[in-house]
């Protein structure tokens, strides 16, 4: 889906009209949280999640965390539901297509063994049996079947909670008070202040485009396209680095989040790029969903910790 514009405005008539449905959605979420008894595993579980629908930077954050733990000598395994993937699992991602396991598991599998399972608890057990010492759950904050030793909520400090309303009136999956009460830490993406950081330990990330990718594109005209939660962030990131790399960045083309590009879509993009004398560029996540990649360039995210540390977040937890 493409993020509705009224999710940005709390006084929107559409948002107000949908608020009763949002209240119902919130009540169901709270009920699910109370009725489940999470299963405690024999290894630590770290959950990377968020409170809003759409992209906040969960997968890049999970990849960065995985790399940090691997650097400490830990055997890390990722577990994902494999959104929009056809396989029920549990399956270890290896040579699969995005149609089978989803796009995000293909990214995670570049870092560490990654399990896809519609039932996350079954996927987590498969990871334990395969030798995982630490499990990272990707996008599991609203899943109550597995006990989490450390739940980290990712918050985009520019977007925060949108219009502050519950889905479908707004982007919230649950109330911030309810969601943050289950968190042991925050992952803040961006440099804006966030008012609740004083109550929870946090790390702050800055997402930059990968230097090597931009050097490949130096002095070129770019036609960006993206089918992610908030594609405008990707387009703006390219614009922010245009001067440093002598780039001309054309107006980006939006597609729905997790969009499956057809041959016709790619043909239209190629034709538009040719007319504009431009090179097509997209995100790593979109790259995973392209049936053919010739003539299309990927710009990966390169996250840096600019404040806080992982050790600060899990201080006192037994890993």
238 & 189 share domain: no
What pLDDT score does 319 carry?
61
Residue numbers in the known binding site for ATP are: 52-59
The answer to whether position 3 is within a domain reads no
187 & 77 share domain: yes
Contact of 49 with 140, CB cutoff 8 Å:
yes
**Which of 165-174, 201-210, 214-223, 236-245 has the weakest average pLDDT?**
165-174
255 & 308 share domain: no
Share of the chain above pLDDT 70, in %: 96
**pLDDT over 60 at 197, yes or no:** no
The answer to whether position 141 is within a domain reads yes
16 & 149 share domain: yes
More confident residue, 179 or 11: 179
How far does CA 240 lie from the centroid of its chain?
A: 21
What pLDDT score does 196 carry?
64
How high does pLDDT run on average in the chain? 89
Q: How confident is the model at residue 198 (pLDDT cuts 50, 70, 90)?
A: low
252 & 272 share domain: yes
> Residue 134 CB: number of other CB atoms within 10 A?
22
pLDDT digits (tens, 9 = 90+) for 46-55: 999 999 987 7
CA distance 192 to 195: 10
242 & 309 share domain: no
The answer to whether position 319 is within a domain reads no
**Radius of gyration from C-alpha coordinates of the chain:** 20
195 & 249 share domain: no
What pLDDT score does 287 carry?
93
Across the range 174-192, mean pLDDT stands at: 90
Across the range 217-234, mean pLDDT stands at: 92
Contact of 55 with 230, CB cutoff 8 Å:
yes
Contact of 217 with 245, CB cutoff 8 Å:
yes
pLDDT digits (tens, 9 = 90+) for 256-298: 988 999 999 999 999 999 999 999 999 999 999 998 888 899 9
Residue numbers in the known binding site are: 52-59
What pLDDT score does 316 carry?
59
Please identify which residue in the block is written with the tokens 């889906």: 1
217: helix, strand or coil = coil
- Identify the CATH number of the domain in which residue 192 sits: 3.40.50
201 & 226 share domain: no
The answer to whether position 4 is within a domain reads no
36 & 176 share domain: yes
290 & 234 share domain: yes
Q: How confident is the model at residue 318 (pLDDT cuts 50, 70, 90)?
A: low
**pLDDT over 90 at 57, yes or no:** no
**Which of 107-121, 161-175, 256-270, 271-285 has the weakest average pLDDT?**
161-175
Q: How confident is the model at residue 317 (pLDDT cuts 50, 70, 90)?
A: low
In DSSP terms, 187 is beta-bridged to 154, 203
The answer to whether position 318 is within a domain reads no
> Is cis: bond before 271, omega within 30 of 0?
no
CA distance 269 to 234: 17
pLDDT digits (tens, 9 = 90+) for 82-105: 888 899 989 999 989 999 999 999
Share of the chain above pLDDT 90, in %: 60
108 & 137 share domain: yes
Q: How many domains does the chain have?
A: 2
What pLDDT score does 54 carry?
75
The answer to whether position 121 is within a domain reads yes
Please identify which residue in the block is written with the tokens 């006192």: 316
Range of the domain at 264: 211-299
What pLDDT score does 70 carry?
96
More confident residue, 196 or 69: 69
169 & 222 share domain: no
The answer to whether position 232 is within a domain reads yes
The answer to whether position 228 is within a domain reads yes
**Which of 11-25, 145-159, 209-223, 235-249 has the weakest average pLDDT?**
11-25
């Amino acid at each position: 889906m493409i993020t509705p514009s009224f999710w940005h405005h709390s006084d929107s008539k559409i948002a107000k009209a949908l608020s009763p449905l949002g209240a119902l959605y919130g009540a169901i979420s709270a009920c699910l949280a109370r009725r489940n008894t999470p299963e405690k595993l024999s290894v630590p579980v770290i959950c990377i999640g968020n409170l809003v629908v759409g992209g906040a930077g969960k997968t890049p954050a999970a990849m960065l965390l995985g790399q940090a733990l691997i650097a400490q000598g830990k055997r890390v395994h990722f577990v994902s539901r494999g959104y929009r993937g056809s396989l029920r699992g549990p399956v270890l991602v290896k040579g699969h297509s995005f149609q089978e396991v989803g796009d995000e598991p293909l990214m995670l599998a570049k870092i560490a063994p990654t399990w896809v399972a519609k039932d996350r608890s079954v996927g987590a057990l498969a990871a334990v049996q395969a030798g995982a010492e630490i499990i990272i759950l990707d996008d599991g904050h609203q899943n109550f079947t597995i006990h989490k030793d450390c739940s980290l909520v990712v918050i985009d400090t520019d977007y925060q909670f949108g219009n502050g309303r519950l889905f479908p009136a707004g982007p919230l999956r649950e109330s911030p008070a309810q969601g943050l009460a289950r968190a042991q830490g925050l992952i803040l993406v961006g440099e804006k202040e966030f008012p609740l950081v004083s109550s929870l330990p946090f790390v702050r990330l800055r997402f930059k485009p990968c230097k090597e990718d931009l050097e490949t594109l130096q002095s070129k005209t770019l036609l960006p396209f993206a089918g992610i939660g908030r594609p405008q962030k990707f387009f703006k990131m390219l614009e922010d680095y245009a001067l440093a790399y002598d780039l001309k960045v054309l107006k980006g083309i939006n597609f729905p989040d997790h969009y499956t590009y057809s041959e016709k879509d790619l043909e239209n993009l190629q034709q538009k790029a040719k007319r504009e004398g431009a090179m097509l560029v997209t995100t790593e996540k979109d790259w995973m969903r392209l049936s053919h990649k010739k003539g299309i360039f990927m710009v990966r995210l390169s996250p840096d910790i600019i404040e806080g540390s992982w050790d600060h977040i899990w201080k006192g937890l037994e890993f």
